[in-house]
Amino acid sequence: MLHMARLFVLFAFLLGMVSDAYAAGEILIGLAGPMTGDQSKLGGDIERGARLAIEEWNAKGGVLKKKIRLLVGDDQHDPKQAVSVANKMVNQGIIGMVGHFNSSASIPASSVYHRAGIPMITPASTNPKLTDQGFKNVFRVCGRDDQQGRVAADFAAKKLRVKKVAILHDKTTYGQGLADEFKKNLSRYASSGISVVYEGGLTQGERDFRGILIAVKAKAPELLYFGGIFPEGGLLARQAKEVGLTAPMMSGDGVIDPKFIEIAGAAAEGTYLTFTPDPEVLPQAKRFLTQYKAKHGNELAPYAIYAYDATNVLLTAIAGARQTKGDAVVGALRNLKYDGASGHIEFDQKGDVKESPYIVWITKGGKFETFWTPTP
């Protein structure tokens, strides 16, 4: 008798695990990024952005008359962990995925969602490869590094008019990818005498970059370009000044975070960063920013708005498709025209946004300010 009871409990438990989404009549949306570790702030930012969108939808009665629940996965910006998180999410029955954050996580995870036919919208992964794989279910609401690299190269050549450039990257899919795109676009200006005088990689998690910076300094570059994320970016800026490298630093959207300024201190001043326009000046972003700040304070969270938009786009597509089947939602996403908080969102053939206006920011007085807009 006892044996039977045990078996029953076990079965009930297993069933509970499998059907926990269906039984509750919920729509499960997945979100994944680095929730712990050195980049945990970035993961937290996208989670807060996505939650805001979901709360708004739930307040209006959810989607397809069901409440929406967010499942959060921690990939620790590790490709292996990302795949395991993706498998877990798929098994738990998510309808769509907002994430992952890092390109190095999104690319391997995307094939898991692809096999399961689940739509995936990343708010932050900018490596071109992600949407160049030809997966119909993969989208992004942020820009691409080839666009970002082009703007950075144009800026270096046309605005800064530098001749000698040093390039460093953190050997990750995102960092090295961005550095490569920058270099590729810079070569278009080779006729005007711009050359790359140093190129090298450093290891993510490393903290002493003096060796490589001294080697960079020996080549006397006029600009140091870095492809990577803020923990390394901040230390690079700081230690560059220490070894007497006076050339300004330039980097991309992985570095634009308040923590960069905290780590680099005064050495952050004058760093150029490519990023999308300031949401503060976008009229359509106003409502989002007011609500976000009321909840989470004034600290800058550059990616929260993209996660908010990605979630809204996904839920709008589910509502439009009137069902939760992956193919139908993906189809709805392809034809979607949505005015988000970050701008107009419409996907092209690959799943990239049609408009992605990168501009150049500068660090000034301990803050990020918009600095230069490329002329089309």
Give residues in contact with other proteins (CB under 8 A).
36-38, 40-41, 171, 200-203, 205-208, 210-212, 214-215, 217-218, 231, 234-235, 238-239, 241-244, 259, 262-263, 265
Report the residue number, 53 or 267, with the smaller CB distance to other proteins.
267
Task: Say how far residue 4 (Cα) sits from the centre of its chain.
Answer: 50
Supply the DSSP symbol for 65.
Answer: T
Report the residue number, 43 or 119, with the smaller CB distance to other proteins.
43
Tell me the backbone φ, ψ of residue 117, rounded to 5 degrees.
70, 30
Minimum distance from residue 152 beta carbon to other proteins (Å): 22
Minimum distance from residue 90 beta carbon to other proteins (Å): 26
Distance (Å) of CA 316 to CA 337, 338, 350: 10, 9, 20
318-346 burial code (b ≥16 CB/10 A, e <16): bebbeebebebbbbbbbebebebbbbebe
Query: What would the DSSP string read from start to end of 205-251?
Result: T----HHHHHHHHHT--SEEEEES-HHHHHHHHHHHHHTT--S-EEE
Minimum distance from residue 253 beta carbon to other proteins (Å): 19
Rounded Cα distance between 37 and 307, Å, is: 20
Supply the DSSP symbol for 285.
Answer: G
3-state class of 166 per DSSP? strand
Distance (Å) of CA 277 to CA 266, 298, 302: 24, 18, 10
Report the residue number, 144 or 183, with the smaller CB distance to other proteins.
183
Contacts of 249 (CB under 8 A, 6+ apart): 223, 224, 225, 226, 233, 236, 237, 240, 270, 271, 272
Rounded Cα distance between 27 and 276, Å, is: 31
Minimum distance from residue 234 beta carbon to other proteins (Å): 7
Report H helices in the chain. 2-18, 20-24, 40-59, 79-91, 103-116, 129-132, 145-154, 173-186, 210-218, 230-242, 258-264, 286-296, 304-321, 326-334
Contacts of 62 (CB under 8 A, 6+ apart): 27, 68
Report the residue number, 219 or 287, with the smaller CB distance to other proteins.
219
